[in-house]
Structure formats: structure tokens, C-alpha cells
Amino acid sequence: MDTIVLKFGGSSVADNLKLNIVAQKVIDLYDEGNNIVVVVSAQGKTTDNLIKEAKELSNLPEEREMDVLLSTGEQVSMSKLAILLNQLGYKSISLTGWQAGIYTSKESQNSKIEQIDTSRIEKELEKRKIVIIAGFQGINENEDITTLGRGGSDTTAVAVAAALNAKHCYIFSDVDGVYTTDPNKVTIAKKLETLSYKEMLEIANEGAKVLHNRCIEVGQKYHIPIITKSTFNNKPGTTLQDKIEDTNVKSIVKNDDIIYVHMKYETYSPELFSKLLKLLEKNNIGANNFVNNSIHSMDVYFTIKSTTLAKFQNLLENDLKAFDTTYKNITRIAIVGHGIMNDNKILEEAIKIVDLNNLEIINLEINESKLALMFSQKLSNTILEQLHIALIG
């Protein structure tokens, strides 16, 4: 009997009507004679709302308590789906992260799955139960609940699929696959039939929500076929395949969730520089694109995600007062596809559009499968559409 893992995101489990659509998809695959493991996200905007409510109580809530709070969202959806499936006559059981044997690293809010003890899941599957697991959560060595970072239910699903040696891992969401750009930003975006893990990883790392970046690494490492599909239609989705196809642009990602930081201090101080790096790391503020423009003074530029701004502002007010700091919201656009570095035309076309729009590029990064441009300001979706027309059609 094959084991299939199905993951349903927040929009797929948002209300009772949608839970019925999910249940039908689960039942269809169960009735074909498969072992079914379902991983669910929190309903709709639950996680966003919980974060907002916690921030009304405290500007900087403890990360451990945020894990406890946010993990409740997934527990609501898993139990509702189990209640519904049981009512429909299909034996099912919901399991939290720790009940499902998902052990993670110690840190809060961005833990990594280290190991999965599948014995409980397997025991339930042997009884022909449908096993429903809370995505996004696990337990660490202190027996504290941990969470895997925003969008982390995808990683739960692929990791569980790897641990169970599942035949497929389906990621169901509100889009029927991975597109040539976010279809909610550019309407002419086209769905891709296949994509390599490497290309998908670049797309995810650049901030496209459609798949959590770490699930792609797990899928590639354990050779799990990942298929993204829509919960709301039966169209074929996008399959991740570990083969490199033709050289062309596959997808364009526009990320507006970026803060560009400039920090100055009159003399260069390795101690101060290392203090800055350590504080960013300790506070889980993933800083990227570091540049120091001078060897005599500190003239440091880097980017952070806008979701970490409150933590960064707190550091500026307390530990990093010595710096003269400014920051602003900017846009980064990444053009992804294997072989991009060898095709000069892609860079030429992109620069032509940048010049036509009188835009300033503050950072340009190119590797074999990505060309990324960072702009000095936040941009509308018009530029994304223009790049799409020029490079994809």
C-alpha cells in the first residue's frame, strides 16, 4: 500500500465549506487504497491575527511564548478536519507535532526538523486511520513546543513524506501550481508544468510564498516528488523534478518585504562590527547583502525582512545606539531559470526596462540560475509585468 502525504494551506482550510472540499480530496485518495497522512496549516489569517494580538500585549513578545501561541492555529484545523472525516464515516485522528514525533532544533520561531519518530503515525495508519498532523510545529530537547518559521507547514509535509518514504507529497493551496510570476500580481502569468528543485529553491529563497524554502531542500535530499496543486480545481499542478531542462527564464519574483539598512560609525571597529553581527544572529534577524563601503570608517549596508523590523528597532534603541542608522523599504526582483548567467540577452533586456523606468539599482547579483536586482525604492507591479512580457511573453 502506498503512502501519500497531502498538505493543505491556510486558504484551503479557512472555513467549514472549504474543509468539506479538503475532506473529499482526502477521501478520494483514501478510497483508492492509499495510506493517507494529511498536514494542515492554521485556518485563513489565524497566524497573522495571533501575531497581531500578541503585539498588542507586548512590543517584543518572548519567542518561546509565540511558539506556544502560534502552534494553536494548526491544532484548530487538524481537529476540525478529523471531526469532519469521522462524521463522514472515515476513521481519522489528529496529532500535534510532538504526538507525531517531530523533533526539532532548540531555537524558537525558526526551528529545524532534526528527526521524526514515525512509530505513532505508523501505528495509526496500520489501523487504516487517516492521520492528520499539525503543520509548522514540533518539540525540542527541552520539551518546549517550537515552530518552523512562517510557511513552515510545507516543510512538515515534505519531512513527514521523507520519514515515511511516501510515494508523493502534494502541496494544495489557492493556486494550481507554480507560475512564471505571482499570478496575484501579474494576470498574464503562466503555470509551469515542471521545475527543477534548484530553480524552485531560488524562487522560494527570493520570497515567493508558494513553497517554503526548506521543504525543497528536504524534497531534493530524500527524492520526494513534490506536486503543487489547487484545492479548488482538478487541473494538473506543477511537479518538482530533479532535472535541468532548457535554458530560459522560468519565473520572476518581486519581493517588497525588504528593509534596506545603512549604518555609519566614524572609525572602523572590528569589535563593533562583530557585535552587530552577533546581535543580529542572536535575535534571529536574518541580515543579507552585507557591504561595508569603507576601510577607515563603518559604512555598512544590509537588508532585513520587514517582519523583523520591530526586533531591529529595539536593538537600535538599546545595544546599537553608537551607530548613525537609516533604513527604508525597497523592492528586490529576481529572475530565475537555469543557465541565466550564460545568456547576456536576459541582463540586457532587464537593464533596458530599468533604464526606461529611470530606476536606480543598488545591488545586482548573478549566478548560474538567478539574476537579482535590488532597487533604491519600493516599486509597483508594473515593472514586474514589463519584465515578464520582455523575458517570458
> Which one, 174 or 343, has the nearer CB to ligand ADP?
174
| From 3, 43, 47, 251, residue interacting with ligand ADP (rule: CB under 6 A) | 251
Window 45-104: residues binding ligand ADP (CB under 6 A): none
List the x/- string, 71-110, binding to ligand ASP by CB under 6 A: --x-------------------------------------
Smallest gap from Cβ 94 to ligand ASP, in A, equals 15
Is position 9 an interface residue for ligand ADP (rule: CB under 6 A)?
yes
Bridge-based pairing state of the strands 3-8 and 288-292 = unpaired
| From 90, 98, 136, 323, residue interacting with ligand ASP (rule: CB under 6 A) | 136
Calculate the alpha carbon distances from 23 to 12, 26, 76, 132, 176 in Å. Answer: 11, 5, 15, 11, 18
Q: Which stretch binds ligand ADP (CB under 6 A): 121-129, 178-186, 300-308, 338-346?
A: 178-186
| From 42, 131, 175, 287, residue interacting with ligand ADP (rule: CB under 6 A) | 175
Window 5-34: residues binding Mg ion (CB under 5 A): 9
Smallest gap from Cβ 161 to Mg ion, in A, equals 16
Smallest gap from Cβ 286 to ligand ASP, in A, equals 16
Residue 150 interface partner, choices Mg ion, ligand ADP, ligand ASP, none, CB cut-off 5-8 Å depending on type: ligand ASP
Is position 194 an interface residue for ligand ADP (rule: CB under 6 A)?
no
| From 3, 35, 41, 386, residue interacting with ligand ADP (rule: CB under 6 A) | 41
Q: Which stretch binds ligand ADP (CB under 6 A): 5-13, 111-119, 259-267, 291-299?
A: 5-13
> Which one, 276 or 391, has the nearer CB to ligand ADP?
391
3-state secondary structure the chain: CCEEEEEECHHHHCCHHHHHHHHHHHHHHHHCCCEEEEEECCCCCHHHHHHHHHHHHCCCCCHHHHHHHHHHHHHHHHHHHHHHHHHCCCCEEEECCCCCCEEECCCCCCCCEEEECCHHHHHHHHCCCEEEEECCEEECCCCCEEECCCCCHHHHHHHHHHHCCCCEEEEEECCCCCECECCCCCCCCCECCEECHHHHHHHHHCCCCCCCHHHHHHHHHCCCCEEEEECCCCCCCEEECCCCCCCCCCEEEEEEEEEEEEEEECCCCHHHHHHHHHHHHHCCCCCEEEEECCCCCEEEEEEEEHHHHHHHHHHHHHCCCCCEEEEEEEEEEEEECCCHHHCHHHHHHHHHHHHHCCCCEEEEEEECCEEEEEECCCCCCHHHHHHHHHHCC
Is position 151 an interface residue for ligand ASP (rule: CB under 6 A)?
yes
For residue 93, the cross-strand partners are 131
Smallest gap from Cβ 151 to ligand ASP, in A, equals 5
Is position 135 an interface residue for Mg ion (rule: CB under 5 A)?
no
> Which one, 190 or 264, has the nearer CB to ligand ADP?
190
| From 4, 6, 8, 10, residue interacting with ligand ASP (rule: CB under 6 A) | 10
Phi and psi at residue 64, to the nearest 5°: -60, -45
Smallest gap from Cβ 145 to ligand ADP, in A, equals 20
Window 155-174: residues binding ligand ADP (CB under 6 A): 173-174
Smallest gap from Cβ 171 to ligand ADP, in A, equals 7
Calculate the alpha carbon distances from 267 to 275, 276, 295, 327 in Å. Answer: 15, 15, 9, 21
Is position 135 an interface residue for ligand ADP (rule: CB under 6 A)?
no
Candidates 330, 381, 370, 331; CA nearest to 182 is 381
Residue 337 interface partner, choices ligand ASP, ligand ADP, Mg ion, none, CB cut-off 5-8 Å depending on type: none
* Binding residues for ligand ASP (CB under 6 A): 9-10, 41-42, 47, 73, 135-136, 150-153
* Binding residues for ligand ADP (CB under 6 A): 9-12, 41, 151, 173-175, 178-179, 181-184, 208-210, 251
* Binding residues for Mg ion (CB under 5 A): 9, 151
